[in-house]
Structure 1
């Protein structure tokens, strides 16, 4: 790299072409550079003593800059071939030492006496003088004088040979410190860096330092040491050389080569992988700069061939960290997400009590036999905090949450025999049973509290503390037990905080602010566990969570990195009038369903996370029948969403509204 950056050279060229003085605007127009770039380059040239502002304030439009005497002297050599016209300025100084004040390590050569004259002793010179005089005054002494001259010349030659011999034996040693040979340096590492050459046995005053073949500024001399504070350099390979004169024996040279690299390495991997079937191997491979250190997850990969390849036995349960570091220390870090190809799902909600009820259970079986659904969502823990099936979880037995209505493994086997998948729904943090137990035993840090420290009951009867290890483990244990029983899928519900202002609730162990990260961390923990068990998992979210998730600590985008699907509850009856421009959402099920799901598609774009919406099959202020149910299913399908779950707390579904063998 030359001494000056390309922009600096162009600006110096324009000043030389204009006789040494020009305005910033003139330079900018002629050099086709932005004013700010011109100003920055002029600052660099000013610090090197090449230019100076003239009768103006630097940085303001119209400011004039002029070459200094050093600029006139060294400018043409620095511009080099860029200067294609003859530059002449009558006012420029003609006899100035360019080393003075600018840092050049060389000086003009001085005339010196011949070696044979300066090498003689005083006595030899006196003899030589007398010989010359006597030659003029005594003609008959020519033979003797000739002999004297011959003796003198012989002596001089002998002395010269001795000097040559000594010089030949004398070795010039140059040691380099500050930057080692072959170093890879980030631009920031050059700040404060000092390159030092220590010279032994040579003419230090003659030393000349070059950067990529051109003289450098800012060189400092201390006895036999040549010191150079390294300035900011462009990225690429650089070589700094020092030439030391050895008089008649040529020069000694030392050099150090290094590379400036501030560009992070490129890892050719998508941030979101294409969906992969659950349990199938995943191959992560691509090109990479040879020698870059690459780690994916906990595995360090070989990149010596200029490529990498990693085969995972199954998709990871969450984001996989990727860290690549090059020889200069530049790093590239990101997470790669490998989503699961979630299976086509058309299902209905079934409570534990309904499954235990012969009549309600037969209605579900009829939907299966008619081919209207391929999935049954079966409650594992409900909104009241009760576990409907028999459980061996110690805390469930301790708090009295198990109702023992049915055997979970038998229910799953029965449904599998009918050819349907089973989703186990767990209402996680709305848990009145655990709240009452915690309050009665003095474990108030297990529950959310009012500002004065009482359990926060609100309208739910008690919300447990999603930040407490006991509460988290209790819910994870329920999921693990279901996975061991053969469940296909876990759907987390009430994965949020209660509605209302955060100032009206206290979360023990949380330092305040939006607790969304705590909720996401639970899903990450669950995802790791369930992926190992080869079980899908998703999360139910409010319909408003697409654009107002902070109201309830549901960060849908962050959640999507740790679940296989998001299940937004877009029930038409839950929307206020005018939402998404729909005047009466409950009476317009198609319009509100399509509008709200489109918003979720926007939020989840690029994540490859499936959307499985909860749709309404119950009546509130508007009676819902086959037309209203089908309108919601059609609205989702028109957006390309063919997965859905129907909700009716009474578990009595409108079969005529559910299509048979719905087009996937």
Structure 2
């Protein structure tokens, strides 16, 4: 396991493609990257490839190449109604079974996304708001016992970036709960997701260092001295084109924008990063060791 994780996200289609996995593996070998976060099925069907034997073989080759492998498992988004009930212990058991299977076929870590109730423009829950954070914490405790401790393997959880600034009871996410029960907490402080005026910036997406460093530093200060903390922070990085304008519009995120976020993550004391691009398409120059490719674009 690397001391500092430097990862890129691999979507399910890319993970099933030998050609794309070869290209992404080669990208890791040529850059500072050392890890892959790979989608696995979370609601039935093959975990990755059609047979576990084929999945083991592919993952085994990646591990032999020195690549740390993280299985990304979507917890509550999906299902027949678009969103699983976060309080469903049946769903909890399904997630635990998938997690243990992921370790068995060769993953080094399991990462959980959508560990929350639905947010704006997502399916609503009838669960009272005051019960949501305790329910999500109970789920975290279940994962700690039934997956992390049972397998003696690391587990991590994705949280909204806004949780770095304070609890989000509407979706049930509290940074304080997560850092006590996961080995790594992976917030998503994407610059484009902060509205105009956040952190005193007219357009946060144009200032990737400041927009990522401010919430990560604030969040870490809140939890670093908690007696029950076991987690380190490992941040997601915006590697997709989106602006902070409202309504949102496309704004090119160059290697410079990515390097600035990585610099902010390092300065905030995080234990690494994972770059997110939904298409799993990345520019090599963004991940060159010690690189600072190109100049700063016009902030606009």
| TM norm. shorter chain > 0.5 | yes
Inter-CA distance 558–548: structure 2 relative to 1 (3 Å threshold): closer
Higher relative contact order (CA 8 A, sep 6+): 2
Rg (Cα) greater in structure = 1
Query: Pairwise mapping of residues 292-307 of structure 1 onto structure 2 (< 5 A)?
Result: none
Q: Which residue of 2 aligns with 1:617?
A: 239
Q: Which residue of 2 aligns with 1:653?
A: 282
Shift of 1:381: 2.7
Whether the 8 Å contact between 1:500 and 1:551 is mirrored in structure 2 is no
Q: Which residue of 1 aligns with 2:50?
A: 404
Whether the 8 Å contact between 2:181 and 2:231 is mirrored in structure 1 is no
Distance 2:23 2:252 in 1: 21
Aligned residues, how many?
Answer: 277
3-state SS of 2:73 partner: strand
Structure with bigger helix share is 2
Query: Pairwise mapping of residues 275-290 of structure 1 onto structure 2 (< 5 A)?
Result: none
3-state SS of 2:279 partner: coil
Which of 558, 571, 584 lines up with 2:203 in the alignment?
584
Query: Does residue 597 of structure 1 match 2:226?
Result: no
Distance 2:234 2:17 in 1: 27
Distance 1:517 1:570 in 2: 24
Query: Does residue 536 of structure 1 match 2:194?
Result: no
Distance 1:600 1:522 in 2: 22
Give deviations 1:559-603, integer Å, cap 9, x for gaps. 211111110011111111111222211111111011121122122
Query: Does residue 381 of structure 1 match 2:41?
Result: yes
Q: Any unmatched runs of 5+ in structure 2? A: 243-249, 292-300
Shift of 1:374: 0.9
Query: Pairwise mapping of residues 455-474 of structure 1 onto structure 2 (< 5 A)?
Result: 455=81, 462-474=82-94
3-state SS of 2:213 partner: helix
Query: Does residue 630 of structure 1 match 2:249?
Result: no
Shift of 1:485: 2.0
Q: Which residue of 2 aligns with 1:417?
A: 64
Give deviations 1:454-476, integer Å, cap 9, x for gaps. x5xxxxxx110121221111111
Shift of 1:642: 4.8
Superposed structure 1 runs of 4+ greater than 6 Å apart: none
Whether the 8 Å contact between 1:360 and 1:651 is mirrored in structure 2 is no
Whether the 8 Å contact between 2:72 and 2:110 is mirrored in structure 1 is yes
Whether the 8 Å contact between 2:132 and 2:170 is mirrored in structure 1 is no
Inter-CA distance 563–608: structure 2 relative to 1 (3 Å threshold): closer
Query: Pairwise mapping of residues 90-489 of structure 1 onto structure 2 (< 5 A)?
Result: 343-381=3-41, 385=43, 389=47, 404=50, 407-431=54-78, 435-436=79-80, 455=81, 462-489=82-109
Whether the 8 Å contact between 1:493 and 1:539 is mirrored in structure 2 is yes
Q: Which residue of 1 aligns with 2:245?
A: none
Q: Which residue of 2 aligns with 1:519?
A: 136
Shift of 1:352: 2.0
Q: CA RMSD in A?
A: 2.4
Distance 2:167 2:134 in 1: 15
TM-score by length of 2: 0.84
Q: Any unmatched runs of 5+ in structure 1? A: 1-277, 279-341, 391-402, 437-454, 456-461
TM-score by length of 1: 0.40
Give deviations 1:34-57, integer Å, cap 9, x for gaps. xxxxxxxxxxxxxxxxxxxxxxxx
Structure with bigger strand share is 1
Distance 1:374 1:512 in 2: 40
Distance 1:418 1:564 in 2: 24
Whether the 8 Å contact between 1:589 and 1:632 is mirrored in structure 2 is yes
Shift of 1:631: 0.8
